[in-house]
Amino acid sequence: MKINHKRQKYLFFIINIVGGSSILFSYAYGLITQIELRNYLWGAIPESIKPFYIISMFMAAFGYFLFTSYILKNIFFNEDNDLSLLRLTNILYSGIIFPSILWMPMTFEYLVNGSVELWWSIRMVLFVVGISSSLLFILLLFLNFKNKSDFKFMSIIGIFSFWVQTLILDALVWPMYFNA
């Protein structure tokens, strides 16, 4: 395996393992330490929409594992892929994961000490995640791997559910109701 390919593969694992753990930690820490503010994270989202949101969150998480497995197999474990494809994939994952670490702490801070600058920073974080997931979705749609399989179809469904959550619900719908 080429040294640069190996580095990109290790970087992918670091982004996902360290970054993913950091997201989980930031959410757990926020929910444990800000008990009185938990329900305010919903903003004014109607009760009728909340079940859809919750189902979508679980579908997005499951979808993440599906499309990430597919990407790992077909991009990072395929030595024939161009190094720029590996780099682009790592950039897009970084655009999803690292801003996601910031969302909950920033939102709790906004609930306590709201400011216009912080609100726009939260919006920016959500848009970076949504745009990164959109670009990763497009990348998966247009990459032509040798094997056409049900696994690719399932990964497309997985990234679609992740895209709905990150771009539509988080970046577009949630802000409309949060400050309503």
- The alpha-helical segments, DSSP class H, found in the chain are 3-33, 50-71, 83-113, 116-142, 150-163, 174-178
CA dihedral 49, 54, 59, 61 (to 10 degrees): 140
Give the tens place of pLDDT for each residue, 68-113: 999 998 888 887 788 899 999 999 999 999 999 999 999 999 999 9
Spatial distance between the Cα atoms of 140 and 167, rounded to a whole number of angstroms: 16
Q: Please give the single-letter amino acid code of residue 68.
A: T
- 132 vs 82 pLDDT, higher one: 132
pTM of the model: 0.92
Name the region of 97 (left: φ>0; alpha: ψ -120 to 50; beta: rest): alpha
What are 115-130's pLDDT values in tens digits? Answer: 999 999 999 999 999 9
Q: Is the pLDDT of residue 151 over 90?
A: no
**What's the confidence (pLDDT) of residue 149?**
75
Q: Give 29-58 pLDDT, tens digit per residue.
A: 999 999 999 999 999 999 999 999 999 999
Give me the amino acid identity at 140. Answer: L
- Can you spell out the DSSP letters for 119-163? HHHHHHHHHHHHHHHHHHHHHHHH---S---HHHHHHHHHHHHHH
Q: Is 60 or 145 the better-scoring residue by pLDDT? A: 60
